[in-house]
Amino acid sequence: MIGIVGIGAAGGNIADLAFENGINAVALNFSERDLESLDFVEERLTLIGSEGVGKNRDEAINLMVDKNWEMALKFIKENFSTPSTEIIMVCFSAGGGSGGGIGPMLVDLLAQEMDDKAIVAVPILPDTTEALVHQVNALYVTEELSRQDLCVLPIDNEQVKKKNPNAGKARIFKETNETFVNLISTLPKYTDRHSKHGVLDKKDLRTIFFHKRNFCYFICRNNKIR
């Protein structure tokens, strides 16, 4: 019932891992080489206009508006229009140029164009030791997302970095991505559980992700079930 759209390098890595774990997932990127580096995800879209925007969000946004949005929307609709996909999670690095530029724009567009689905923004936040350009991009992204009535599920690289201060990037990324994909994989299983105190059915799960205000509710309820 959950579909994953991965944008840019980080988003693509999450989509790849999700697909490996049986979740329907697709990847979009300006960089064909980044897309080629993925091992599992089958549906990949190379965006037109650049081989990578070098952390420049404005360039990604301009290229998206000028050349790519129709093609990207068609690609996502083709892969996720079936009623069985009820929640679409769009994963992207808030610090990257492609992810940070396209992510907030695309979730807004999808919420309008696919209004029967719950669209969830999943920005990956840079850890505090990363370059200034990542931090500044992430600030713009969180500001843009805060203006939209969408559920936001941030993935915070800093939390994993704090627990493993000497770990290199590869390990931080691996652990962060695996934690997220494991959590997402277990979510639909809650709808199979029964209790005389209440049941979480598929419709409830979708409703939880429908709007921003439902996020706190999700955290509370999820903790209780655990």
Ligand X SMILES: Nc1nc2c(ncn2[C@@H]2O[C@H](COP(=O)(O)OP(=O)(O)OP(=O)(O)O)[C@@H](O)[C@H]2O)c(=O)[nH]1
Which run of H or E residues covers position 93?
A: strand 87-93
Q: Does 181 bind Mg ion (CB under 5 A)?
A: no
Neighbours of 206 (CB within 10 A): 17
Comparing CB distances to ligand X, the nearer of 3 and 52 is 52
Judged by beta carbon distances under 5 to 8 A according to partner kind, the member of Mg ion, ligand X, none in contact with residue 130 is ligand X
Residues 57, 172, 79, 121: is their CA dihedral positive or negative? negative
CA atoms within 13 A on the CB side of 186: 8
Q: Does 160 bind Mg ion (CB under 5 A)?
A: no
Query: What is the Rg, in whole angstroms, of the alpha carbon atoms belonging to the chain?
Result: 17
Q: Does 9 bind Mg ion (CB under 5 A)?
A: yes
Q: Does 53 bind Mg ion (CB under 5 A)?
A: no
Comparing CB distances to ligand X, the nearer of 118 and 172 is 172
Least spacing, CB of residue 14 vs Mg ion, in Å: 14
Q: What is d(CA 124, CA 142) in angstroms, rounded to the nearest whole number?
A: 10
Residue with tokens 């992430």: 138
Q: Does 124 bind ligand X (CB under 6 A)?
A: yes
Residues that bind Mg ion (CB under 5 A): 9, 52
Residues that bind ligand X (CB under 6 A): 8-10, 13, 30, 52-55, 93, 95-99, 124, 126, 130, 134, 155, 157, 173, 176-177
